[in-house]
Structure 1
Amino acid sequence: MQFKNRYGITLVGDLYQPKSLQQEHQSSAALVLGGPFGAVKEQSSGLYAQTLAERGFITLAFDSSFTGESGGDVRNVASPDIHTEDFSAAVDYIGLLPHVDRNRIGAMAICGLSGMALTAATSDSRIKAVATASMYDMSRSISRGYHDSYTLDQRHQIIDYLSQQRWNDAAQGNFATGLHEIPFDEQGQLIKSDKLLPDPLPINANPVMAAFFMYYKTTRGFHPRSINSTTAWTATTSMSFFAFPMMSQIAMIAPRPILLIAGENAHSRYYSEDIYRLAGQSKELFIVPEADHVDLYDQVEKIPFDHIEKFFKTHLI
């Protein structure tokens, strides 16, 4: 399926419809799905879309602008603004389908695109309910580091590096790749790389890196179009996330409901907990016992699909 966002970029998605949708004039609730950040629709969002279609929803898993099969002349660049717009564009498309009740549309997102789904809902009231799994606020993560650990001096080092990288890109006439979150070594120096995940996995690798590696770099979740599986974002991608603070209007989603799902052992759990505190009424924080961040990508025995189904069937009435 192809559709355009309001910037004229063509997005590509996979549409799933329940087998029970047989009556010619029957209308159904629908969900738009995206994520994780740097993934493609054939990975986690496709699994969620297929499973929720089996449970009665019309679902659309799509590739964000500049990634996967979607358009955008510059490849593998991320924009919090445009990726947020992509969710509203998906609502445009799915809401015009003949079997969809446009008053019963929700959004579901995983990991880094969860922040964009929530941000879209702050200004698009057609999104009647939002659920997230392993939610990440990419603006906060990129500009402030894990648990907001960057010092002011480190943040200045990053924007200085990004600014100088723009000179390099301008001189070369292309866009170099690099990490979207730029770590520091023990001496406080920036660590630069042109791949998100190393190959092979280093001995005694950080457990979080190892979990991502086991999904994106093995047969479990590898996909040749996935940025996380094969390459990295453009090196200057981080600039827009320093300039665009998502979640600043999170209270605007209320009274529409939010479901925030996080693994008990997820390194990212604090993002969901913080959004839960900031959001208005009609919100729920669901902690999955003994699950980590990446478990909620594809481990169907841990993903609370029964609860997700109940949430959307309760609120998309």
Structure 2
Amino acid sequence: MTALELTPAWDKVFPHSDKVEHSKITFHNRYGIELAADVYTPKHAPANGRFKAIAVSGPFGAVKEQASGLYAQTLAERGFLTIAFDPSFTGESGGSPRAVASPDINTEDFSAAVDYLANCRDVDPDGIGVVGICGFGGMALNAAANDPRIKATVASTMYDMSRVTANGYFDADDSPAKRNETRAQLGKQRTEDYANGDYARAGGVVDPLPDDAPQFVKDYHAYYRTPRGYHARSVNSNDGWNMTSALSFMNMPLLSYIDEIENPVLLIHGEKAHSLYFSKAAYEALEHGVNPANKELMIIPGANHTDLYDNLNAIPFDAIERFFGRNL
């Protein structure tokens, strides 16, 4: 594992809170990739000296200086020790080549965060939860299905990256012929990448924005490509993911076993979000699972997909605090 260079300056897209202490740390996953994280610690420790803790990551293509950091800092203001981490191959975290996404490795990243927190002297190892935003909401659910140390899970404005990659938006390309066409294109891309000694990128959120862009693309642009949410290390704000990342998501469905999650889950989604169907499908699986009584879907009236990235009037932090307070 190589030592990471962490930026000492506050370079988040949200203001620093004077209610918490902030520091930066690294931890490694079981593939030997070193991950970078921001730690947000409440200024007043609990009476027993051990915090309940929450690991946060996402959205898919974002960095910890964006939405995940906002969630982590806000929950630290409410008494939880939190970390917001960059997934493998992105942001300040390690891993090469850069800008690779993986259903397996990115799920592992959440469990690696639990490894770190469970070994912190000021954290209750039996009181650790996770928050996944957008595509990392799906990763968080996948991690919760595989790792019972995660005592409570919040998936906010969740994407099922396997489903959207394999089937297209709204399942419009759900056919073997369409998938095989994509596989052929990506196979050709792999050959070219190997010959070039580098990996072509898919392009981030489109910029400039075409007049006929769907509303949800306009919403992404308003976050990732404007001062509201732009960050120099964000995949979505810049050149996008490694193009061939799509292959593993098509071949390895993420949410196959979420019906076996025994611990509590809270799904949060905007009423007007184009992606709401992902959370509805996940909730249906949880409702028919081994412990449906502690599963909840909260739909936020009037909210779109990216409102749950940073709109403090839309993100239900009171409900999230209550959820973790009950279950950690």
1:37 to 60, 63, 73: 60
1:71-86 alignment, distance < 5 Å: 71-86=94-109
Task: Tell me if 1:304 matches 2:328.
Answer: no
**Counterpart check, 1:250 vs 2:274:** no
Counterpart amino acid of residue 45 in structure 2: L
- Alignment match of 2:273 (pick from 266, 270, 280): 266
CA RMSD for the aligned pairs?
1.0
- The yes-or-no answer on 1:134 pairing with 2:157 is yes
Identity %: 52
For residue 42 of structure 2, give the secondary structure of its aligned residue in structure 1.
Answer: coil
Consecutive unaligned residues in structure 2, runs of 5 or more? 1-24
Higher mean displacement: 39-48 or 13-22: 13-22
Q: Secondary structure at the match of 1:71?
A: coil
Equivalences for 1:61-80 in 2 at 5 Å?
Answer: 61-80=84-103
Distance 1:122 1:268 in 2: 22
2: CA distance, partners of 1:264 / 1:146: 17
Separation of aligned partners in 1, 2:68 and 2:299: 20
From 179, 201, 216, the counterpart of 1:177: 201
Q: CA deviation at 1:22?
A: 6.7
Q: Which residue does the alignment assign to 2:234?
A: 226
Deviation by residue 1:189-215 (Cα, 9 ceiling, x = unmatched): xxxxxx222222122321111000000
Question: SS of the residue aligned with 2:244?
Answer: coil
Which residue is equivalent to 2:146?
123
Deviations 1:143-195 (A, max 9, x none): 111121113221111011011111111111211112xxxxxxxxxxxxxxxx2
CA drift at 1:66: 0.1
Q: Secondary structure at 1:237's aligned position in 2?
A: helix
Name which of structure 1's ranges 149-158 and 61-70 shifts more when overlaid on structure 2. 149-158
The normalised TM-score by structure 1 is 0.92
| Partner Cα distance (2:134, 2:224) in 1 | 14
The aligned residue for residue 7 of structure 2 is: none
Distance 1:145 1:99 in 2: 44
Please give the alpha-carbon distance, in whole angstroms, between the structure 2 residues aligned to 1:145 and 1:203. Answer: 22
The residue identity in structure 2 corresponding to 1:14 is: D
Are 1:153 and 2:187 an aligned pair? no
* Local SS of the residue matching 1:108: strand
Give the counterpart letter for 1:9 in structure 2. Answer: I
Distance in structure 2 (CA, Å) of the matches to 1:247 and 1:204: 33
Q: Supply the distance in 1 between the matched residues of 2:244 and 2:46 (Cα, whole angstroms).
A: 48
Instruction: Measure how far apart 1:116 and its partner are.
Output: 0.7
CA distance, structure 2, for counterparts of residue 138 and residue 112 of structure 1: 6
C-alpha distance in 1, partners of 2:212/2:113?
41
Stretches of structure 1 that go unaligned for 5 or more consecutive residues are: 179-194
Rounded Cα–Cα distance in structure 2 between residues aligned with 1:6 and 1:148: 34
**Counterparts of 1:33 and 1:258 in 2: how far apart (Å)?**
15
CA–CA separation in structure 2 for the residues paired with 1:116 and 1:205: 28
Q: Which residue of 2 aligns with 1:113?
A: 136
Could you say what secondary structure the match of 2:188 adopts? helix
CA distance in 2, matches of 1:5, 1:33: 15
1:218-246, CA deviations, whole angstroms, 9 ceiling, x for partnerless residues? Answer: 00000000000011111111011012111
**Structure 2 residue corresponding to 1:87, chosen from 107, 110, 118:** 110
Question: Aligned residue for 2:299?
Answer: 287
TM-score, length of structure 2 as denominator length: 0.89
Matched pairs, number: 298
Compare 240-249 and 291-300 and name the one that shifted more: 240-249
The reply to whether residue 56 of structure 1 matches residue 79 of structure 2 is: yes
Q: Offset of 1:19 from its aligned partner?
A: 1.5
In structure 2, distance between residues paired with 1:145 and 1:283 = 27
CA–CA distance in 2 between the matches of 1:258 and 1:207? 29
Q: Structure 2 CA distance, aligned partners of 1:135 and 1:229?
A: 19
Once residues 90 and 243 of structure 1 are traced to their aligned partners in structure 2, the CA distance between those partners, rounded to angstroms, is 25
Alignment of 1:278 with 2:285, yes or no, is yes
Residues 102-133 of structure 1 show CA distances to partners (whole Å, capped at 9, x for unaligned) of: 00000111000111111011111000010011
